[in-house]
Amino acid sequence: MTLSSNCPRFRWVDLQLDSLKKCLTASDVKKTLRSLPRTLNETYDRILLGIDKNHHQKVFIALQWICYSYQPLTIEELAEAVIIDLAATPSFDPGNRIADPHWLLEIFSGLVLISKRNRSFFLVANTRFRLLKLHISL
- Among 115, 132, 112, 134, which residue's Cα sits nearest to residue 123? 112
Q: Give residue 45's domain range.
A: 3-137
Report field, pTM of the whole predicted structure over 0.85: no
Residues in the chain: 138
pLDDT digit string (tens) for 56-101?
Answer: 888 888 888 887 888 888 888 889 998 988 888 899 898 989 899 8
In Å, what is the CA distance from 28 to each residue of 36, 40, 55, 125? 12, 22, 27, 29
Task: Report the b/e string of 74-88 with b at 16+ CB within 10 A.
Answer: ebebbbbebbeeeee
pLDDT digit string (tens) for 100-134?
Answer: 988 888 887 777 777 777 667 666 655 555 555 55
Q: How many domains does the chain have?
A: 1
Under 8 Å between Cβ of 123 and 67:
yes
